[in-house]
Structure 1
Amino acid sequence: MAQPPPDLKIPSSTTTVNIRIIDTTSRISGIPLEGFVSPAIKGHTLLTAAPAFSFLIEHPSNRKLLFDLGDPSTFDSHTALIVGPGFKDAFTPGYPANEESPIRESDYKNRELREISFDQGLKIGRFNAFDYFGDGSFYLLDSPGHAIGHVCGLARVTANTFIFMGGDACHHAGEFRPSQYLPLPSSISPNPLSLGSSTPCPGSLFEDLYRDGDGTKPFYTIAKGGGAIAHDADEAERTIGKVMEADARDEVLVVMAHDDTLLDVVDFFPKYANDFKEKGWVEKGRWLFLKDFAGAVKS
């Protein structure tokens, strides 16, 4: 039986932002999944045509943010670059001043490089949070693990609905689904193994893939050891635990940066995503990732 998800305790507000999800058209293919997730599941070994989503956030004041913006050097110097805790110490100065740095000095040269502090005591669920505009319309969430300074975003798109911008907190929905709040249903619709079919998919097909035989645990955990991608796998797992609490709520649309299952579910720029709940995107996209396990299930 599913546990009720914890209250995220998002402060009330009547101020909202408009969100446009951008399909940057970049695709990531051919990267072995063993560096990202564990255990291995038959037939699902590579990232294949994974997109890279960005988000245009439009505030009523006419201020705009671009979340997961891509190459910062292509933006003019009036555009501030927002980073998470520890970024400056870990990555600056950039190359060529520091030949070992993974970033270039040109990424932040002649612009404000603003590092967010999460020491105000504000929490959204179990995330340390920062109220970016100061009016409850958009929060940055401290979500370390994948990389130093990694942050997620939470946008209020109506008074009571939100879009969770997950970035690289996860690289496959099987890292946070199913969960104790969102167990795999006995009947799955739309059918992830036969898209367009009116016949639901039996949840029992995936029972042999349950981690530890438990249908309330995500199929995957973060990969650890040599070759693992995460900067801190244990911290990344803690972040995923917080993601699961948000993901269990129908009023929250969770969008990870590389979730290919959403390509045929959501509307992309220039269209807005604020009406996701009315369009049923949460329900349509929730279990589509199971298509990746087609080679491992018994027909």
Structure 2
Amino acid sequence: MAHPEFPVPASTNTVTVRIVDSTTRIGKLPLEFLMAPPMPGMEYMPLLPSWSFLIEHPSGQKLLFDLGVPQDWHTFAPSVATKLEERGWDIVVDKEVIDVLEEHGIASHEISGIVWSHWHWDHLGDPSRFPASTDLIVGPGFKDEFLPGYPAKPDAPVRESDFAGRTLKEIDFTSAIQVGQFRAVDFFGDGSFYLLDTPGHAIGHLGALARTTTSPDTFIFMGGDLCHHSGEIRPSPYMPIPHEIHLAGAAATNLPCPGAALYTQLQASRNRSADQPFFDPGMGLDIQEALSTIGKAQKADARENVWFIYAHDPSLLGEVDLFPLAANEWRRKNWREKTLWRFLGDFAPAIEALEK
């Protein structure tokens, strides 16, 4: 199958990307809250991490893309904290991203900016712990919708303290360039790191594309909540389920090995075609726009030189190097291949039922 086009402007510049475990783990989250249709034997989502990314530019500038959850999430704005208490999910946070960084010698004042992929609680962290010199960067529509924040705006899901005293930058895509099928802003102006307009899930939802190597070009695509499970983006018209799936180590745990045939049968039993993802998004601002964004991202996801990582991707756990180690050599280390279809293990009960 020919790889789909995902054109990225040429550049010889890269950034260093480090995948930071925010230590957030979210459990007992019903599948039906996030995705549809149901999957037999899968009442809940797998235990979900919330990844943060440290992006380091050769100029010395350092960005964080997402912050996970603060240790005391009860300090969120009431419109958020009350709902979390009512839902009864298991939310565990051992330490915050700022603490993880400082343990490895990166001080908070070294972070020039925090990018929120979007304003939902599991991405916000606590920016007030960073100095005023750290900018907060948000997507289009954020300021009109949420400022001045709680408590001045009682129903706001973000807090005044998140951006008090610091520069709040809202990305404007009206004069954007094109990266793949997305509108994009060349953040550093040298082709090393792009912020992408990825609408649908939430107001101002942002993705990011980091150039990790040149000659050949490789990229890490940070998807935020563009999807909540690999089964929301795979399979696709550009990337069918493999006929055989060979995974080693931790990724092989609980993974049925029948390859495409039984998974295709599973799709048919849920009125899905073989080239459709297993799920559609079940919650979000605009589901049709979210589906359109996923369709665009599928073209990148199918490229062997692009590693797509969404914010809550558990397939990375135990398979790839995390901060303080860099992720730039991901292709040489085959991390994409090791993690790409690991999610199929979540469907073990459904596959076993089909085989009976």
- Secondary structure at the counterpart of residue 278 of structure 1: coil
Cα RMSD for the two superposed structures: 1.9
Is 1:214 matched up with 2:244?
no
Equivalent position of 1:268 in the other structure: 322
Q: Distance in 2 between matches of 1:198 and 1:222?
A: 24
Superposed CA offset, 1:16-70 (max 9, x none): 0000000111101111111211100011121232101000000000001000132
Query: 2:280 corresponds to which letter in structure 1?
Result: T
Equivalent position of 2:163 in the other structure: 108
Equivalent position of 1:157 in the other structure: 212
- Secondary structure at the counterpart of residue 152 of structure 1: strand
Contact 1:193 1:291 in 2 (8 A): no
Is 1:133 matched up with 2:131?
no
Measure how far apart 1:249 and its partner are: 0.5
Residue correspondences, number: 292
Equivalent position of 2:201 in the other structure: 146
Q: Distance in 1 between matches of 2:304 and 2:36?
A: 27
Contact 1:130 1:139 in 2 (8 A): yes
- Secondary structure at the counterpart of residue 149 of structure 1: coil
Superposed CA offset, 1:214-270 (max 9, x none): 2111111111xxxxx311111111111111010000101111110111112211000
TM-score by length of 1: 0.93
Q: Distance in 2 between matches of 1:53 and 1:198?
A: 23
Is 1:85 matched up with 2:140?
yes
Q: 1:104 to 1:189 in 2, by over 3 A?
A: same
Measure how far apart 1:208 and its partner are: 2.2
- Secondary structure at the counterpart of residue 89 of structure 1: helix
- Secondary structure at the counterpart of residue 50 of structure 1: coil
Equivalent position of 2:231 in the other structure: 174
Question: Counting helix residues as a fraction of each chain, which structure ranks higher?
Answer: 2
Choose from 266, 275, 285 the match for 1:231: 285
Unaligned runs of 5+ in 2: 68-124
Q: Distance in 2 between matches of 1:113 and 1:198?
A: 44
Q: 1:268 to 1:194 in 2, by over 3 A?
A: closer
Equivalent position of 1:14 in the other structure: 12
Contact 2:51 2:66 in 1 (8 A): yes
Superposed CA offset, 1:66-111 (max 9, x none): 0013221211110000000001111111011110111110000000
- Secondary structure at the counterpart of residue 253 of structure 1: strand
Superposed CA offset, 1:256-294 (max 9, x none): 110111112211000000000000011111110001100
Measure how far apart 1:192 and its partner are: 10
Choose from 243, 248, 253 the match for 2:302: 248
Q: Distance in 2 between matches of 1:173 and 1:213?
A: 16
Q: Distance in 2 between matches of 1:5 and 1:235?
A: 24
Q: Distance in 2 between matches of 1:119 and 1:8?
A: 21
Q: Distance in 1 between matches of 2:35 and 2:254?
A: 30
- Secondary structure at the counterpart of residue 204 of structure 1: helix
Q: Distance in 2 between matches of 1:235 and 1:198?
A: 32
Contact 2:250 2:319 in 1 (8 A): no
Measure how far apart 1:213 and its partner are: 4.6
Q: Distance in 2 between matches of 1:86 and 1:109?
A: 19
Q: Distance in 1 between matches of 2:250 and 2:323?
A: 28
Contact 1:191 1:201 in 2 (8 A): no
Is 1:286 matched up with 2:340?
yes
State the identity as a percent: 50
Q: 1:89 to 1:121 in 2, by over 3 A?
A: same
Q: Distance in 1 between matches of 2:253 and 2:230?
A: 21
Equivalent position of 1:186 in the other structure: 243
Deviates more, 1:149-158 or 1:202-211: 202-211
Q: 1:194 to 1:125 in 2, by over 3 A?
A: closer
- Secondary structure at the counterpart of residue 187 of structure 1: coil
Q: 1:94 to 1:83 in 2, by over 3 A?
A: same
Query: 2:57 corresponds to which letter in structure 1?
Result: H
- Secondary structure at the counterpart of residue 261 of structure 1: helix
Q: Distance in 2 between matches of 1:279 and 1:212?
A: 37
Q: 1:186 to 1:99 in 2, by over 3 A?
A: same
Q: Distance in 2 between matches of 1:155 and 1:199?
A: 33
Contact 2:39 2:347 in 1 (8 A): yes
Equivalent position of 2:111 in the other structure: none
Contact 1:93 1:105 in 2 (8 A): yes
Equivalent position of 1:28 in the other structure: 26
Measure how far apart 1:201 and its partner are: 3.8
Q: Distance in 1 between matches of 2:275 and 2:250?
A: 21
